[in-house]
Amino acid sequence: MTARKIGLVGLGKIARDQHLPALAANPDLELVAVAGHGASLDGVDGFASLSAMLAARPDLDAITLCTPPGVRHALAAEALAAGKPVMLEKPPGATLGEVELLARQAESAGLTLFASWHSRHAPGVAPAREWLAGREIHRVQIVWKEDVRVWHPGQEWIFEPAGMGVFDPGINALSIVTAILPRPFFLRDALLQVPANRQAPIAAQLRFMDTAGAPVEADLDFLQTGPQTWDIYVETDAGRLTLTKGGSELTIAGESVPVGPAGEYPALYARFAELLDSGASDVDPAPLRHVADACLLGRREAVASFHFP
């Protein structure tokens, strides 16, 4: 089968670090065009905007959007209006409302829309979900701490409205927990710590409860130095399940469980290729809904100003 032609919009750090290698490794997909401010890549057509790319490359089979979430809705709507299936980097949008509109637009047009959550494809996530399906959950603890200066160097937009602040990495944890727990959960309390010179939180403590009363707690920090922490602990009637290193390592009742090799973004593009073949969509807003609830319900505490080095 001929590889599907992909156009990618937004050639920033995440696109270069993750999307480009994953696309290059997928025989079913071929990156033929990139678009965005200063977007340029050897051997690939470059355009200043999505509009220019769509006009010059009507042969594109699908579009991947790697822009910041604040501008993603307009671009996705434009691509869908042009008849192109769309893959959205996480989070799928700045608001739940716009994600819902995109899902309706894609369904009406009969086009694939893929709201991707890369952390759900970490190798320990699927076996964790399978094991937890038959367990009674007593307590869940999320500890997700990383250094914004390392992962988003100089990216001021991440602390602007729609930038999400610490929820940019924190939503990865929420995407895993919403995938592995057998019961849904909802927010009861939140504390959002916002730098005096910023609009989005740099740390957050979230307290959820599942529908059977089990607590689900999250401690998020965007100023972690040294080793980064991406861990989830689930206390059950059969012992503790632990997902560490972002879901790449799994331990159950003190025993390490063999899992497959890491490859979140290759798995994302394999999933996108499957969706394109079937014409189906995959749009789960649950992780974004939890972030929205935190912003709606959470108490805000002003903390020291933050400046990039």
Region of 248 on the Ramachandran plot (φ > 0 left; ψ -120 to 50 alpha; else beta): alpha
Active site residue 13: no
- Separation between Cα atoms, residue 164 and residue 206, nearest integer Å: 15
Catalytic residue among 5, 90, 145, 245: 90
Alpha-carbon Rg for the chain in angstroms: 19
Map 147-212 to HEC letters.
EHHHHCCCCHHHHCCCCCCCHHHHHHHHHHHHHHCCCCEEEEEEEEEEECCCCCCCEEEEEEEECC
Residue with tokens 């927010």: 187
Contact 89, 116 (CB under 8 A): yes
- Separation between Cα atoms, residue 7 and residue 294, nearest integer Å: 34
Catalytic residue list = 90
